[in-house]
Structure 1
Amino acid sequence: MPGYKLFITQDPGAPYANVDDVTIGGHVVGSAWHHILPKGDFRHDGGANLAAGLASLWNTMILKNNDARIAKPVLDAIIRRIGDYGTNLTAVDIEQAKTVAKDLRDGKITHPGSGTPDGWDSFIQVYIWLPGNLFRGPRNRADDPKNGFDTPAQLILPQKDQYNLLYDAYGEITAYLGNPSKTGYAQTAFTKLGKVADTYRTRTEFSAAQWTWDSGKNAPKVKGSK
């Protein structure tokens, strides 16, 4: 079995088209795709105090458990649904990403080694930017959680179960990072992420009715958030 470097070392960038400005309370501002469950840290040194998120979960799994098959639920979902995600990946990119996911799921490629498999960049783009974990909103939010869980998203997402799956996955990731020998935490996190990746295949678009302008902070925020 070929060996590769299977860490996610940097944000690969969103595989989606650029987004337009939005208007909130008469203010025109740039917009972006916001992660609900954050990307986390792209460190892979096993150090303490990793921010909980998708990259932290993946890299800790590879470093501590050296078995990507733990991520089978989300790998299966990506294999089945990647074509539904509305990415700007080419047909070749999509097929290569599916092959990477299949090979990881089946233990056909392993860590450690040198280089990365063909399609790795496309695969990690989809994993880090799962559409069911995204909503479009203004930049420079007054209520932006930075690298924390985006709790105001519960006021944005149309489906409560979508938010609950992501919130529960975040809790499992946090527990796993605190005790990586407990692979059950990682398995549960990937199971919940797999349900998100399988069920919620579109990004949540911007709705002006869900946003307001915080005059005290001179910035936009989700209507109803603190």
Structure 2
Amino acid sequence: MKPGRVILMGAGPGDLDLLTRKAVRALLAADVLLLDELVCADLVELAPRARVMRVGKRGGCRSTPQDFIQRLMRRYALQGKTVVRVKGGEALLFGRAGEEIAFLEAAGIEVELVNGISAGLAAATSLGISLTHRGHCDGVSFVTAHTHDGTGPDWAALAKSRTTLVIYMGMQRIEAVCAALLAHLPGGTPAAVVQWASTPREARLVTRLDTLAGAAREAGMASPAVILVGDAIGQARRRSTAGAEPAQRVLGAA
């Protein structure tokens, strides 16, 4: 039997209007749909003929093992099916796509990639800021607080990089993240948390680095959320204190 194919698709942060036309075509072609935990539930309506399997992975929660997900993709692809592995955000950004591509290609399976909007970009949109505002930074660094070996990133180097920091998977250890950055950045450095970016559940907190952890805990903010740190975040303050769309809640501002 001729092998099928696997499509690794980023579904974006939750707003289905942000899906690309290419993503919609992939969903329509799907025989098997493997859905991550944070993918919008309504997305399955765009894959009317697919068998839907939920393979949730979420920090601090019981998750489907990565090797099991990879074996599922291989199994169905070798049966000649089109498998669409749907990940929240962007598949190529902290989505373990590299591991999956290598595993599938070693089995002789064709892999296609469909990009999605990352939660970090959706968070910046919500705050109304440019992550690369040239008056405030030299670029942007996307980083995970949950590294593979558990040691954490080089916060000192990141603090000195003069880039806007967009930190994923950091809410469980937000106190440690803030403490590490405060060893190298002023306490008044603008900072924010955006939870459930782009969805009706979205919440935004804009403050400063030395109060971020406490304010986020007091507001009950938790994953899925993105932490943003840097001078460019200061541009969000006026917009946040002025109010938000009806579907959003502004939890605080410096």
TM range (shorter): under 0.3
| Structure possessing the higher relative contact order (Cα contacts under 8 Å, 6 or more residues apart) | 1
Which structure has the larger Rg?
A: 2
More strand by share: 2
TM-score by length of 2: 0.26
TM-score by length of 1: 0.28
